[in-house]
Amino acid sequence: MEVGAPDMGTMLNPPRPRTGPSLTLGTVLRSMDDGKHPKLEEAEAKIEAAEGKLQSKEGVFDPKAKVSFKTQPLGYYDKGNFDALITQDSPLWGASFYAGYRRSVGSFPTYDGQYVTLNGGEFRAGFDLPVWRGGPIDQRRADINQAELAVTGAERDRDMTELLVDNAAAYAYWSWVEAGLMLEINEGLLEVADRRNQGLVRRIEEGAAPEIEGIDNQRTVFDRRTKVIAARRKLETAAIKLSLYLRDAEGRTRRPGREQLPAAIPEPDEPDAAQLGDDIRLATKKRADVRALQAQVDQAQVEADLRDNQVAPQVNILGWVSQDIGSVSLQDKAHTETPQLRPFDLGVGISVEIPLLLRKDRGNSAAARGKLGAARAKMRWQRDQAEADVRQAFANLRAAYETVSLARDTRKAAEALARAERRKFALGSSDILYVNIRELYAAEAATKEIKALADYQRALADYRTASGRGLR
């Protein structure tokens, strides 16, 4: 006999014939793929938002172009200047580079001599390299690193959402199957009472049975019909809950029909204690919520490194070259006493900036280190929690497996008693009251076995979720 299917030798009926393929848990889970479930779609949207923020942060290193033209047609000096410049900030040790072209016309005072170019203009390039503060890390690169980690965190949150949604779908599915099989048990009880009622009517009419037995059995029919109505309502409620996870091609909810119920709940497998250690290690390192917290720890580490670096002095090395094109400048024509410009210049320099008290930067560094310590402590707690989750889920799974065996033995004993009581009743050595009691005990034992089997499947879903393996 299949597990969960009524026994032909008892008062229970065999399962209703299935007209098509049964709905499986795998089908339910696949129906939620591609973000069709709202919670998974929400998690995907958060990843997209995090990626957009990352792209925005990376934009700080986009090259910039600037063009300006200045002229002074009226005044003691008749002068003009055209300047085009491209600047490029770089993530390479925080260095920045520039290159440009400029050309001046007219006459310039001595103090504006740096604007004077030859008649072909001047090409120039240079760099600014932070050596200490802003070298290993700066705000721009820290923002990008944290944005990358935010994307990782959003992806891990999506993975955890998928685990939890799959787990909830498994609960809804097995509750639906459980409700369907229990409805069949109650329908079987009702049909047995209806058939017995027909036989009792004939026996009462023939004087072979007292009228009170017919009344008692009629009461039983009414009671069992009420239980069928209640079981049918539970199945409908379970189908509605399952529809939240069962989706069609457009992502709309789809309520499963009774004809899609499987005939039985699968046989449980004995939990493997040898696998527990591997699953604990997997959960404490790879489970999605643990990895999401690791991303938060890494973000706090980036912030701490940045704030530590901000305490250091600002030391920058500068370098530049310029090349004038042409033979003479208009400045030379207007003021012959101005020396001829040399066509090539090379320069280097260094700048140093040292804050005196550093109270702000030291305070920021201490605050960042505190946040890092808090994030690490939270991470350790989450790993401990993951281990506890796996151990608890394994204990529940093992208890569920043992309960199935006991429930099955109880059901077999109750059904044997019900069969024996019906034989006694057929021989006239029992009455309808004892038959009904035995049948109710057998039905209760059968429902407990079905519940135990469904509980095992739910416990298995919890265990696979706790370990991070998932149900797919």
pTM: 0.82
Most confident region among 115-119, 216-220, 458-462 by mean pLDDT: 458-462
110, two tokens: 């001595």
Measure the CA–CA gap between 238 and 171, rounded to whole angstroms: 10
Q: What is the pLDDT of residues 200-217, one digit of tens each?
A: 777 776 676 677 777 877
Contacts of 172 (CB under 8 A, 6+ apart): 238, 241, 242, 244, 245
Question: Angle at CA 225, nearest 5°, toward 221 and 226?
Answer: 120
CATH (residue range 25-56+141-299+370-467): 1.20.1600.10
Edge-first strand order for the sheet with 122-130 is: 64-72, 79-89, 96-106, 122-130, 314-324, 344-353
Average pLDDT, the chain: 87
Does 392 have pLDDT greater than 90?
yes
Q: Cα–Cα distance between 331 and 201 in angstroms, integer? A: 129
What DSSP designation does 135 have? S
The answer to whether 71 and 104 have CB atoms below 8 angstroms apart is: no
Digit-coded pLDDT (tens) for 377-391: 999 999 999 999 999
* DSSP 8-state secondary structure symbol assigned to residue 2: -
The distance between the two most distant Cα atoms of the chain, rounded to a whole number of Å, is 146
Q: How confident is the model over 183-201, as pLDDT tens digits? A: 999 998 898 888 877 777 7
Radius of gyration of the chain (CA): 41
List 210's β-bridge partners, or say none.
none
- What is the distance between the alpha carbons of residues 269 and 3, in angstroms, rounded to a whole number? 13
Confidence of residue 330 (pLDDT cuts 50, 70, 90): low
Report CA-CA distances (Å) from 240 to 32, 80, 109, 169, 275: 16, 79, 86, 12, 36
Note whether 98 and 88 are within 8 A (CB).
Answer: yes
